[in-house]
Amino acid sequence: MRKLKSVAIQALCVLAIVAAQPASVAASGAEFAAQTRHIGPQGVMGTGRIFVSDGRVRTEMSQGGHRVVQILDQASGRGYTLDPERKVYMEQSMGPGGSGPGATPGSALPDLVKHPCAGVTGQACHALGREELAGRSVVKREIDTRDPRGKPLKLTQWIDPARGTILRSEGSDGARMELKMVGRETLAGRATEKWQLTVEHAGSEPTHSFQWYDPQLGVAVREELPGGYVREMSDIRIGKQPDSLFEIPQDYRDISSDVGGSRAVRDGEP
């Protein structure tokens, strides 16, 4: 059971290459399949495949000889981890939304120019108008939230309304994030934009990571992260993906309650 959960975490890391991408994956409406690799300082940590179609993402990953399948339906905010060897699966709630402010793959982006706070729920949000940032017209907003310790936190964000991408974020705790394009490159035969992500925390040195963003797919096809970690796609093939890829086989057994509590608790019921 622990092995399934451990490999599932690695699969989620690969899944994040799509699920955590700028919201323009929604606007692109691209459907595709690709090979994936998750590389660490010591070499390849895991390999697999990824399939994207109609707001759904499926990853298949092998690590240490163990295969795990992850299915994410971003419209419903539900995720499923499947163990093909044992024919069991776990269900998780991924939270509403998915890849950006109020958007999921296959859906239309909200009009952030008219509604800068679209997608912000359960927190106070204030529109602060429009500005120019690195040659891009952005919308600015401020969100009243709380940090992981429960202390009040104000976040000021500058968002590219065309893609739903947060280009800069500054917190009242001194944390700062900035995403800026540093060039254009051809990667694996595809035209990409190279972006640098800088993250700063009060009292610590900034960290830098890089993304190669494919405008046609609406996702980064490669990411270089601090510590020598890399997530990448290759052999990208654009086209409609079979619905069966995103369905749980009928002969699989649900073990969600065995590892994460009852279904009622997961669904937010008393």
pLDDT tens digit string along 198-236?
Answer: 999 988 899 999 999 998 888 889 999 999 999 999 999
What mean pLDDT is predicted for residues 136-145?
Answer: 94
Q: How many helices (H) and strands (E) does the chain have?
A: 4, 16
Whole-number pLDDT of residue 183: 95
Whole-number pLDDT of residue 164: 82
Residue type, 20: A
Most confident of 10-14, 129-133, 200-204: 129-133
Whole-number pLDDT of residue 127: 95
The more confident residue out of 141 and 165 is 141
Q: Residue 188: pLDDT above 50? A: yes
What mean pLDDT is predicted for residues 8-23?
Answer: 43
What mean pLDDT is predicted for residues 257-264?
Answer: 51
Whole-number pLDDT of residue 72: 84
CA distance 183 to 267: 44
Q: Residue 3: pLDDT above 80? A: no
Residue type, 24: S
Strand-pair category, 253-254 with 152-160: unpaired
Whole-number pLDDT of residue 99: 36
Residue that is written with structure tokens 């992500």 in the block:
197
The more confident residue out of 72 and 19 is 72
Q: Residue 257: pLDDT above 50? A: yes
Q: What is the mean pLDDT of the chain?
A: 80
CA distance 138 to 67: 43
- 189: nearest Cα among 239, 235, 220: 235
Whole-number pLDDT of residue 94: 62
Instruction: Give the CA dihedral 216, 236, 103, 146, nearest 10 degrees.
Output: -120
Q: How many CA atoms lie within 13 A of 222 on its CB side?
A: 16
Q: Residue 19: pLDDT above 60? A: no
Task: Enter the tokens of residue 26.
Answer: 């929604």
What mean pLDDT is predicted for residues 113-141?
Answer: 90
